[in-house]
Amino acid sequence: MTTESPIRALRAEYDAIARKLGGVGGAAEREAVKREIIAYFKQVDALIADLGELREDIRKLVDRYKQVAASTAEASAPEFTGSRPALHADHIGASTFIEKGWSLISLGDYAGAIQSLQKALQLAPGETQGESLLGWAQMLHEDYDEALQTFQKVLMKEPANSLARINVGYICLKKRIFGEAIEHLSKAIRLDNDKKATLYAHFYLGLVYLQREMYEDAQTFFQKTLKLGPNLIEAYYELGRAYWFGGEAAQAKQIWEQGFKANKFNPWGKKCQDTLQLVLQGGEPPRT
């Protein structure tokens, strides 16, 4: 694999054209330089387009990697599926850093995203889109205290931002601040203005009640989760645990079997199968 940068060759070509332009004389020479500039522009423009396609292909590689390396040790954070920020012309360049931050979150480089988004907010303090993305990056990087502060800034300006609210609920769940988690997640359900937020609000409330050993309440929220999003296979696994620890072993086994059949290739589907085999052999599912 070559380490030669194409930028060096392109810069050399640019410098050559610039020198020609500096010494141009008659109309014929001007026309020749004009054609050379046009050809050079088209060359660079085509390269940019090719690199854009390659960047999208890299995102596909990242998605495949996440599927292969998916960890099922504990409940995952809400999947980041935010739409690409709409770039707008600004004289301070904040939007460029916001777009870069979005791209880095999508690629799983949360530390890089944090750095880029903090730069954006230095240039444009209080920019809500930048703050929302920074909160996502901090949360996914497991900087929970920082993420909580960032999302609280967003909610002060946008109380009906349900995605920010469920992220706060998730962070409170991870920090075992159950009262605040219930408050934020319940409000997201009442707002019901974002399907993804409503889905995860039910799921995380199920986890809150499961951790508090309130198994019937946990079962209710996991059941609602699966009605709203049957592809969230993680909910089958957690519903099975809620039934098992609630003393309904037969129902738990049935749910784990359903979870495996729902998606045999999903890591959580595989975990449903493994847990079912474990209890059939006399074992106990994990408490956490």
Percentage, residues of the chain above pLDDT 70:
88
Residue 189: which of 198, 181, 176, 177 has the closest Cα? 198
What pLDDT is stored for residue 143 in this prediction? 96
What pLDDT is stored for residue 99 in this prediction? 87
Q: How many Cβ atoms from other residues are within 10 Å of residue 270's Cβ?
A: 18
Using a 10 angstrom Cβ sphere, with 0-12 exposed, 13-18 middle and 19 or more buried, the burial of residue 61 is: exposed
pLDDT tens digits, 241-257: 999 999 999 999 999 99
Q: What is the mean pLDDT of residues 83-91?
A: 55
* Level-2 CATH architecture, domain 90-156: Alpha Horseshoe (1.25)
Question: What residues contact residue 240 under an 8 Å CB cut-off, 6+ apart?
Answer: 252, 253, 255, 256, 259, 272, 275, 276, 285
What pLDDT is stored for residue 236 in this prediction? 97
- Asked whether the predicted pLDDT for residue 225 surpasses 90, the reply is yes
Q: How many Cβ atoms from other residues are within 10 Å of residue 82's Cβ?
A: 15
- Asked whether the predicted pLDDT for residue 147 surpasses 60, the reply is yes
- Asked whether the predicted pLDDT for residue 1 surpasses 50, the reply is no
- Annotate 28-86 with DSSP letters as a single string: HHHHHHHHHHHHHHHHHHHHHHHHHHHHHHHHHHHHHHHHHS---SSPPPPP--PPPP-
What pLDDT is stored for residue 174 in this prediction? 94
Tell me how far apart the alpha carbons of residues 240 and 232 are, in angstroms, rounded to a whole number. 14
Name the packing angle between helices 267-280 and 249-262 (round to 10°).
Answer: 150
Tell me how far apart the alpha carbons of residues 199 and 196 are, in angstroms, rounded to a whole number. 5
Q: Torsions phi, psi of 259, nearest 5?
A: -65, -40
Q: Where are the domains of the chain?
A: 90-156, 159-229, 236-288
- Asked whether the predicted pLDDT for residue 61 surpasses 80, the reply is no
Where does the pLDDT of residue 93 fall: very low under 50, low under 70, confident under 90, or very high at 90 and above? confident
Topology of domain 159-229 in CATH is: 1.25.40
- Asked whether the predicted pLDDT for residue 286 surpasses 60, the reply is yes
Percentage, residues of the chain above pLDDT 90:
58
Average pLDDT across the chain, whole number: 87
**Single-letter amino acid code for the residue at 119:** K
Tell me how far apart the alpha carbons of residues 142 and 145 are, in angstroms, rounded to a whole number. 9
pLDDT tens digits, 117-139: 999 999 989 899 899 999 999 99
Same fold, 90-156 and 159-229: yes
Residue 266: which of 44, 58, 71, 12 has the closest Cα? 71
Q: What is the mean pLDDT of residues 261-272?
A: 93
Q: What is the mean pLDDT of residues 143-172?
A: 95
